[in-house]
Amino acid sequence: MPSSVPPSFLDLLDRCTRSAVHLETRDVYAVDYERGPFADWRAGLRHDRADRASWWRPWLDVVTEAAGRGVTIRRARVVSEPVSEYTRYLYDNTFTNVAAGEQVRWLPRRRASELALPGNDFWLFDGQLVQWNHFAGDGSSQGPEVTKDPAAVKLGADAFEAVWDRATPHDQYDIH
């Protein structure tokens, strides 16, 4: 009997052979202001560029493995300016994503006004499958939704490429 449980994100990335693209459009995601990585960052902790072992695990290992088998991983972030505190936190830590093998670009929201963007963040795997990421107003995850619907795949692919074309590479984006 087939399972109705959708594949996990890690399963989707493991099955990926060519490309995984991620569009982020929120200025804040659920964060714990009292403890954890965001709280540590707010208290002044910054990753040591020379100490890769201390970086965000296991995500960076997953990215490194996928990139190592030839998967191109691109992430585009649409952000409001001036940026939120959370976006500054993301920016300060993005060098770890890049070191692991991701390409990351930033697009100020004001430059995205003419783009047709989906209502949710998403991942698109090998240009064939979309995982929508649903969030509540407070940024907490409401769970993913996976589809191979050709219209959804086209919407995601077109939206991502439109953002990517306008966006600034991480090493050139001035957050200040």
- 119-146 pLDDT per residue, tens: 999 999 999 999 999 999 889 999 999 9
Token pair recorded at residue 91:
């920016």
Q: Is residue 90 part of a domain?
A: yes
Range of the domain at 161: 14-46+71-172
Q: Is residue 5 part of a domain?
A: no
Q: How far is CA 7 from the centre of its chain?
A: 18
* Separation in Å, CA 128 to CA 59, 106, 120, 140: 23, 24, 17, 27
Each residue's pLDDT tens digit, 12-45: 999 999 999 999 999 999 888 899 999 999 999 9
9's enclosing H/E stretch is helix 9-15
Q: Is residue 106 part of a domain?
A: yes
Q: Is residue 162 part of a domain?
A: yes
Structurally, how many domains does the chain consist of?
Answer: 1
pLDDT at 3: 47
pTM equals 0.94
Q: Is residue 51 part of a domain?
A: no
Q: Is residue 64 part of a domain?
A: no
Is 37 in a helix, a strand, or coil? helix
In this structure, what CATH number is given to the domain that contains residue 77? 3.30.870
CB 119 within 8 A of CB 159: no
Could you give the CA distance from residue 96 to residue 99 in angstroms, rounded to a whole number? 5
pLDDT value at 2 more than 70? no
pLDDT at 94: 95
CB 120 within 8 A of CB 134: yes
Could you give the CA distance from residue 157 to residue 29 in angstroms, rounded to a whole number? 23
Q: Is residue 35 part of a domain?
A: yes
Q: Is residue 58 part of a domain?
A: no
The β-bridge partners of 125 are 20, 129
Nearest by Cα to 127 from 71, 61, 167, 60: 71
Task: Assign 3-class secondary structure to 10-55.
Answer: HHHHHHCCCEEEEEECCCCCCCCCCCCHHHHHHCCCCCCCCCHHHC
